[in-house]
Chains A and B, each alone.
Chain A
Amino acid sequence: MSATINERVAAWTEDELGVTGRVLEVVTAPAPVLSTDGATVDPTDPEIVQLAADLVATMRVSPGCVGLAAPQVGVGVKVFCVDVSQHPKARTHHGTYVLCNAEVVESSRNEKAREGCMSVPDLTGDVKRASRLLVRGQLPVTGEWVEIRTDAFEARCLQHEMDHCDGYLFLDRVAGAHAIYQRQTYL
């Protein structure tokens, strides 16, 4: 399974949303919304389109943020945005995009790495995740289904965000009792 760019997703920009995003407050654990399975959404619903724009806008102003899921801004639905294009650990990447109702189709090659999260600002943890991934989800506005085949850091980011949409934090995936660390530096 090698990563090949989905040109449709790579060409996507928030301009397609046609609305201006608002910067929202990021909620932190133990907010219950972060531990609640998010609802599936209608990607053509104007409220979801606005939420998509808000997620991108909030991600943009948050230093080091490479992905943000709706539960992190207090909305318990399966919508998230991603942009790992500037991250040094990214190999394959698709720029900025928003996915609704995303799910994993295929995954392989687990690798362990340390993760942090804006919603868990004081802790980091070692988490094993697939480094080769095929995900399907819907684009906002049109609702078209797209498949994203990716690897490395974008794959990790997608799994982290999909976990948020399902009510899981990286804390629910850590490798063991010695895989949790007090965060030493803040972005």
Chain B
Amino acid sequence: MTTPLLEVDGPAAPPRDNGELVFAEPWESRAFGLAVTLHDAGSFTWDDFRDHLVARIAYWERSHPEGECYSYYRCWLQALESVVQERGLVADGEVTGRAGELAERPAGHDHEHDEGHGHGHGH
């Protein structure tokens, strides 16, 4: 394993259970993996990403809607989106546009193919 990047204490520390990282839903581990992979490829520094993450968490704490539960990985994803946009890796509105296209897929879109037809997005 390489030098650990993740904090153990403080707001930027990911949720853990008995020391293990906890991903409540599959997208959380994909969002996590994206950040780690991009950092490893030199797309941004970890300090830079962490600054975005800390800012997102602070923003949520200041201004979240009444009754909305805190989600660490929601903040993580927002931080990731803003850092890749800042670095010019994606254009403004591009992720929203693509996510909108994905939302238009018919229900069950990813279960229509035969077994073994890889989807590549970790469902």
* A and B together in one complex: no
Interface residues of A (CB under 8 A from B): none
